Structure 1
Amino acid sequence: MKSSEPSAGAASLQAAPHAKLSSEQHELLQRLGRFSAPYLKEKLLSTGKIKSSDEYDQAFSEFKKFSALTVIYPDKSLGMVSEEIDEVWHQFILFTHQYQSFGDDILGRYLHHVPDTSETRIPDSSAQNFFQSYNEVFGPVPDIWGAHDLNQFVAASGCDASASCTGTVREGVG
């Protein structure tokens, strides 16, 4: 599968030293680290939604981390709290065949995008779930996620950051 071949810029996704992951979860991070989507990069750069190759590389890497968290924590509602990374996700979904293959071949499941609407309410805890889960697996949350001083934020109880959408993983959907 062409889109899952490593690219020159592909890097492994490393868990934080304190992360308690199974061997299968480490293998997931390795698969995600090798996964590239040059068609997505081309699309986002050509439309100006992403301004540079470096910006894309960071945003796509963080999208892959978000995707990993939805597999590692399948029973948690994880809020997508970054508009930039959400835009990467939206554009990726438009490449329907590649997106389905990404779910099947890399994640082992289809990753659903669930927007926050009156019909599909996102739990208030979804942003806090994301920040805590990210910190547990990858360490401090980078600024691209739209929050600053997140170590203090994650440690505080009662997260009030909002999430505009969430990711859920379901097996056998296609």
Structure 2
Amino acid sequence: MVTALKVTSKSVDNTQRKSAQEMLASIQSWQHWDEIGLVVAKEYYVTSKDFAVALPEYQKFLCLAVMGYEGLGMYSNLVDMLWHGHILTTVLYAEFCTSILGKFVHHIPNTAVMVSEEEWKTCRSCRNCSISCKFCSGGGSGGSKETFIAAYQAAFGPISPVWELSQSDGIAC
């Protein structure tokens, strides 16, 4: 699971939703998305059809990042492949982050913490964490599905099925 984003409990008003739409429009207008599609096709065998489905969701994920949401996980293998492909184009990714997002958005991969089988039976996700890995402080401070859903719905409304929210607690990338 990628923990690059965080949600506060406050609600998003119409002004904030409008700014989310403005930021999303800026992200969508970037001129190099076709190049990212070629990289994702070559490196991850993502079809142009799947790229077209996942790209708007990746763009929304980036929008949440620059809106100040932190502690959100990645809940789509397909969207994660787009992020990886984007990062592989290091010059374009750095330029995109600087010129469009106004800050660099780091990808923090999920790295397994070695725990005993007994601890794993209890933990299984940051929500139930009792060991506090380097990405959370235990007790649910990591990226949960609920946190992601709250942020996404506040900014964009109904969630696309591209997000695999019923299948996992996050994508190991």
Q: Normalised by the shorter chain, which TM-score bucket?
A: 0.5 to 0.7
Taking the TM superposition and a 5 Å limit, the aligned residue runs for 1:95-174 are 95-117=89-111, 118=113, 120-121=134-135, 123-147=141-165, 161-164=168-171
What is the CA distance between 1:71 and its match in structure 2?
1.4
What is the CA distance between 1:61 and its match in structure 2?
1.3
Structure number with higher relative contact order (C-alpha < 8 Å, ≥ 6 residues apart):
2
- Figure out how many residues of one structure are paired with residues of the other and give that number: 136
Task: Provide the C-alpha distance between the structure 1 equivalents of 2:61 and 2:102, rounded to a whole number of angstroms.
Answer: 15
Q: Does 1:59 align with 2:59?
A: no
- Percent identical pairs in the alignment equals 26
Q: Decide whether the 8 Å contact of 2:76 with 2:163 is kept in 1.
A: yes
Rate the CA distance shift 1:164–1:41 in 2: closer, same or farther, 3 A: same
What is the TM-score when the length of structure 2 is the normalising length? 0.67
Q: Decide whether the 8 Å contact of 2:43 with 2:85 is kept in 1.
A: no
What is the TM-score when the length of structure 1 is the normalising length? 0.67
Rate the CA distance shift 1:82–1:38 in 2: closer, same or farther, 3 A: same
Structure 1 gap ranges (5+): 1-17, 149-159, 167-174
Task: Provide the C-alpha distance between the structure 2 equivalents of 1:67 and 1:129, rounded to a whole number of angstroms.
Answer: 16
Q: Decide whether the 8 Å contact of 2:37 with 2:51 is kept in 1.
A: yes
Task: Provide the C-alpha distance between the structure 2 equivalents of 1:19 and 1:163, rounded to a whole number of angstroms.
Answer: 29
Structure 2 gap ranges (5+): 1-12, 114-132
Q: Decide whether the 8 Å contact of 1:115 with 1:164 is kept in 2.
A: no
RMSD (CA atoms): 2.6
